Amino acid sequence: MWSFNLRLLLVCAYRHLSYVFLSIGDGKSVINVLGVGSGSGEIDLKIFSKIQARYPGVAINTDIVEPSPEQILSYKERVAKTPGLENINFIWNKKTSIEFELQVKEEKTERKYDFIHMIQMLYYVKDVPATLRFFRSLLAADGKLLIILVSGSSGWSTLWKKYGSRLPLNDLCLYITAGDIADILSSEGAKYQCYELPSDMDITECFIDGDHNGDLLLDFLTETCDFNKNAPPELREEIMQDLRSPGCSSMKNGKVIFNNNLSAIVVDGD
């Protein structure tokens, strides 16, 4: 689901979030960055260009924690063909966040990072509170942790809260939103700011009988293969009704516009 609109959203995020990079490297000869679930590195490289613009010529060390070998390969290929990365030292760790946590805990030396990001990846972590606690503990004093997930006020949140237990659950993906993350951070006394990253998705085709794109879109929204064919009729009817209700969507010029907002949460180092 995440490639949908992601680039556009992140461009929007950078406009709001440039301040995050304002002080992370002050007085430092090396800036340490940790990317958790970085995928193919597209977003990471945009982040580096922001840091380089703010701190020209300052060396950057980056650890990337990414379990997928295919994504790591794409990341390496992207780095190889991107100019201007000479002052960045990349270390790829083919690990999940929990494997990385165990590795760091076994090490004797203390690690600290000036900037850590977890973008669209906390859905795949089993123990989110413990993971947040661990990665916060790696933040340098003026460091920042950036988390991006679907917003707690998005249509996704409405769907997941109401239907999460009736939609296909698998071990790999949790229905967690930025609202849940904010609750966890608040309960732990963390200092953080939250920004809404507005995004719309036209889902009108879902309501046209027999429309192929509409069927695919519905599968995507419900994470169910052939939802229209396979879902129990009552569940289908309820979801179709909710998809066009204000909790999920608004009506604009006769179109059903799904609230696809993301939220960015910026956590301060202690």
Contact footprint for ligand SAM (CB under 6 A): 2, 36-39, 42-43, 65-68, 71, 96-97, 119-121, 124-125
The answer on whether 71 is annotated among ligand-binding residues is: yes
At 133, is the secondary structure helix, strand, or coil?
helix
For the four alpha carbons of 86, 78, 72 and 1, in that order, the dihedral sign comes to positive
Q: Say how many C-beta atoms besides its own lie within 10 A of residue 53's C-beta.
A: 10
Determine the residue type at 144.
K
**Nearest distance in Å: CB 80, ligand SAM:** 18
**Nearest distance in Å: CB 168, ligand SAM:** 18
Q: What element of type H or E holds 219?
A: helix 212-222
The answer on whether 97 is annotated among ligand-binding residues is: yes
Q: Which is nearer to ligand SAM, 34 or 182 (CB)?
A: 34
Q: Say how many C-beta atoms besides its own lie within 10 A of residue 118's C-beta.
A: 25
**Nearest distance in Å: CB 102, ligand SAM:** 12
Q: Which is nearer to ligand SAM, 78 or 255 (CB)?
A: 78
Q: Which is nearer to ligand SAM, 97 or 154 (CB)?
A: 97
For the four alpha carbons of 74, 76, 81 and 83, in that order, the dihedral sign comes to positive
**Nearest distance in Å: CB 7, ligand SAM:** 9
The answer on whether 37 is annotated among ligand-binding residues is: yes
DSSP characters over 106-162: H-SS---EEEEEEES-GGG-S-HHHHHHHHHHTEEEEEEEEEEEE-TTSHHHHHHHH
Q: Which is nearer to ligand SAM, 51 or 125 (CB)?
A: 125
Q: Which is nearer to ligand SAM, 60 or 256 (CB)?
A: 60
Q: Please check whether residue 104 is in contact with residue 131, taking contact to mean a CB–CB distance below 8 angstroms.
A: no
**Nearest distance in Å: CB 199, ligand SAM:** 14
Q: Say how many C-beta atoms besides its own lie within 10 A of residue 128's C-beta.
A: 15
The answer on whether 64 is annotated among ligand-binding residues is: no
Q: Which is nearer to ligand SAM, 121 or 167 (CB)?
A: 121
Both tokens of 95, joined, read 């690990």
Spatial distance between the Cα atoms of 211 and 219, rounded to a whole number of angstroms: 12
**Nearest distance in Å: CB 25, ligand SAM:** 22
Q: What element of type H or E holds 241?
A: helix 233-243
Annotated binding residues, written as ranges, equal: 37, 66, 71, 97, 119
Annotated binding residues for S-adenosyl-L-methionine, written as ranges, equal: 37, 66, 71, 97, 119
